[in-house]
Chains A and B, each alone.
Chain A
Amino acid sequence: MPNEVKQYRYIENQLRKNFESWNYSEVRSPTIEFVETLSTGVGAELVDTMFKFQDFDGKLLALRAEMTAPVARIVTTRMPSAPEPIRLFYVNNVFRYSQSYLKREREFCQAGVELVCCNTPEADGEILALLISSLKQVGLKEVRIDLGYASLLKDLLNAAGLDKQQKASVMGLLACRDSVGLKKFMEKSSISSKLRDAFLQLSRCRRLDEVSSISLNGSKYDELNKQLKSLSELQETLVDYGIDDLVFFDFSLTKKIEYYTGIVFEASVPNLGLPLGGGGRYDNFIEKFGKLKLPATGFALEIGKLLQALTAQGSEIPDDPKPRVIVASKFRDTAVKAVKILREAGVIASLEITKRSLEKTIEYGKLTETDYVVSVGSSLKSPVTVYAVKSSASRDVMLESFLKELGGQR
């Protein structure tokens, strides 16, 4: 439907504009690639959702199910000597197969960015700030980001020396936000009190500055402390961007995609019960495509979800401010000339190509959100008749002065 496409386009254009103003460059990747390429490092769960088929020689192909792997391939094979850091974005459709009869959607339009070759807190800060500014640029209100750390939970569970079953129960309790159950579990378990406190404190933390107050003594916790410290460094960056009050900590947040190594996050608005998109840091992913070890971070947004969220918030996609005009005439040569002049002046103009009466043309104009129907005679040297479609008023005026009036309206 033209109207829906317009809404999609509007959102895409706003995002493009914003990504470009942050100095990101657009890339495109093939819709179809080898399964091997698309599935490198993304995890079995995502590979299962790919639409797969065979090439003429029997090689397995698939429709892309996400964009980070294709971008990683582009970076390693096509841009090997690009100056670092590399800032890239894409607006693409991705395809996911679902066995569930509930999830009917198979094609999604994603807009996303990847910031490659940098693992500073400034890089993570930039990605989060860009995410928030992009959502605001689209027109969304009350945006929030919830953020976890991919390996923090895993490393803590390992440090606590829990067996597989115990790990699963802790993850389950965290995922269900069962703080009472978690406390009971911790009290019963043999975990050291230091780690126990860290678990409970982290599960209660909602703000990044609360996380920074937690640390564990002892050299065996160096790796954990490093992760906690990096979160507090990120917090300081977010303060500088003025977005620290929009980013929340969520210890239990994990992602289905396997390649994340640092922060992982989701963006949402209160009016929509599903995340708008998300992303994270993936420092060991790109090397799987080549010899280069390139740290990277990025996010992807789903355009359809953004549109749903905008609708739920009651915001309308702004109308195109350009006036719309239909030119009707018995004299085709003059009409063609008039349409050309109008278009060159930035007006959306079309020619009446049916042989219907002027009243019928005005009727058509009413139904197609046209502002004016202009009837021209044999020469543009004489005045044209302008019918204002909404008010049904008409008057004779020279085409140039009509154009001037339109210019004033814009």
Chain B
Amino acid sequence: MNKKIRIAIPNKGRLKKPAIEALGRAGIEVLEEDRAYVSKTSDPRFEAIFARANDIPVYVQYGAVDLGVTGHDLIQERDANVLELLDLEFGKCTLVVAVPEDSTIKSVSEVPALARVATGFPNITRKFFEKLGKQVEVLEVSGTAELAPKLGLAQIIVDLTSTGETLKKNKLRIIGTVMESTTRLACNKIAYRNFEKQINELLARMRGGLE
């Protein structure tokens, strides 16, 4: 079979640059970073595809691309059935439950029944509260969940934080952790079978780059 191995890379945001660098250290340099959705790489066996980090888990699961660099949180949120071959260790962040600083809620166990929770991660949030046996109303917002309490949309948010700065600025207090996340190299299950040799070789080089 004479097919190129396609790697999806986030087309913007905080994961894009480190993703390109990690591949570069493993000997796959992306050649047309700014111009195209599909880019050649310095290794003729691989081809880079730029896509939204949110969409990459689904692209990988359905085999539209063979590999993808994306967050563990996004893979979980999209419930994508993919192989997480490697933890690339960058893009560290935590998905937390937060409330306004003046809220009386001190921990997730105190979250009242039927509370409204605003989040960009509705699936993970729903599962998290279900596991706690809490019935909450999950409101999906894309992006700025931290605004929701200010506007009276929700008393609680579930959002990503890496330094805690944004939460502090918006006068929000963390009351619990949902999950920790880092960037992963995700792989389509069938692509792994077909390209096992090439992918393992790439993995070895990427591991080398991490040490």
- Give residues in A with beta carbon < 8 Å to B: 100, 102, 142, 144, 146, 175-180, 206, 248, 250, 268, 270, 272-275
Contact = CB atoms under 8 A, between A and B. Distances in A.
A44 to B, nearest CB: 16
B61 interface: yes
B89 to A, nearest CB: 14
B58 A206 contact: no
Given A270-B3, A273-B61, A176 B190 contact: no
B201 interface: no
B193 A176 contact: no
Nearest to B191: A273
A144 to B, nearest CB: 7
B196 A178 contact: no
Nearest to A103: B79
Given A102-B78, A270-B1, A270-B3, A275 B190 contact: yes
Interface of B: 1, 3, 58, 60-64, 66, 78-79, 83-86, 123, 187-194, 196, 200, 207
Contacts of A176: 83-85
A273 B188 contact: yes
5 contacts: A100-B79, A142-B1, A177-B85, A270-B191, A273-B61
A250 B190 CA distance: 12
B190 A102 contact: no
Q: What is the predominant secondary structure among interface residues of chain A facing chain B?
A: loop
Contacts, number: 49
A275 B63 CA distance: 10
A264 to B, nearest CB: 14
A268 B192 CA distance: 12
Contacts of A142: 1
B194 A206 contact: no
A272 B84 CA distance: 19
Contacts of B85: 176-178
Nearest to B65: A273
B79 A146 contact: no
Contact of A274 (B62, B79, B123, B207): B62
Nearest to B204: A180
A268 B190 contact: yes
A131 to B, nearest CB: 16
A272 B86 CA distance: 23
Contacts of B123: 100
Contacts of A144: 193-194
